[in-house]
Amino acid sequence: MMTLEDVKRMRLPNLTTDQIRRLTNAENSCRMAETDWSKGYWYNVFKNLCEKYGVMEYFRKVIN
């Protein structure tokens, strides 16, 4: 699990602390999901946030 400091070290392009918090919370929720519905939901939330903030390379790195 990546912490807030780990994400900052990755030098994501000018994200605010709120945006980083949203990304890490969605990532953690995706990892902790137990049912198929919740896995799909949090995966899509995480993907949509990454697309919105322009950090799809981070998404690909985390998902693999």
Q: What is the pLDDT of residues 2-60, one digit of tens each?
A: 676 666 666 666 788 899 889 989 999 999 999 999 999 999 999 999 999 999 988 99
Which of the four pLDDT bands, split at 50, 70 and 90, describes residue 64? confident
> What pLDDT does 38 receive?
96
Domain ranges within the chain, ordered by starting residue: 16-63
What is the per-residue pLDDT for 17? 84
Residue 49: predicted pLDDT: 95
Q: Which residues contact 46 (CB under 8 A, 6 or more apart)?
A: 23, 26, 27, 29, 30, 59, 62
Spatial contact of 30 and 42, defined as CB atoms under 8 Å apart? yes
pTM score, whole prediction? 0.80
